A and B are shown apart, each in its own frame.
Chain A
Amino acid sequence: MFIFFTGKVPLLSQDVVIKNGTVLTVTKGTWPETDIWIEAGKIKALGQGLKVPENIKVIDATGKYVMPGIIDAHSHIALDVVNEMASPVTAEVSVGDALNPFDISIYRALAGGVTASHAMHGSANAIGGQCETIKHRYGTHNPDELRMVGAPRTIKFALGENPIRVHGEGKKIVPNTRMGVEQVFRESFNEARVYMRQWDDYRQKKTAVPPSYNLRLETLADILKGEIIIHCHSYRADEILMLMNVLRDFGVNKVCFQHVNEGFKIAPELAEFGATASVFADWWAYKFEVYYSTAYNAAILTRNGVVTSINSDSGDYIRHLYHQAGKSQRYGDLTDDEALALITINPAIQLGIEKRVGSIEVGKDADIAIFSGHPLSIYTIPQMTLVDGIVRFDKDSDEDDMRIDVDLQEEYSQYVEQQNNDHESEGCLYGVTEWLLQTDYAQFMRFKFMKNHQH
Chain B
Amino acid sequence: MTPQGHFMVVAEVRPGHEPALREVLGRMNSGPGQADPGNPLLPFGRFDTLHFARFAILADGTHADLASYGIPPEPLPTYLVFLGDCDGPGRRQLEEFVRAAPTGLREVFGHCVGCPADVPGMAAWLHSRDLPVAAAYVNWIGRTRQRIREERALAEALSARLRQLPSMPAGSLQSVRRQLVDHVAGERRQGRLLVAPEPPTPFGWWLRNLLHAIAIPVLGLVALPFLLLYAPIFLWQLRSRERSDAEIAPLPDAVHVAELASFEDRGITNAFTAMGSVKPGAFRRTLVVVLVALLDYAARHVYGRGHLTRVQTIHFARWVFIDDRKRLLFASNYDGILESYMDDFINKVAWGLNLVFSNGVGYPRTHWLVQGGARNAQAFKNYLRRHQVANSVWYKADAGLSAMDLARHTRIREGLERASMSDREIEDWLRLM
- A and B are partners in one complex rather than unrelated chains: no
Residues of B within 8 A of A (CB): none
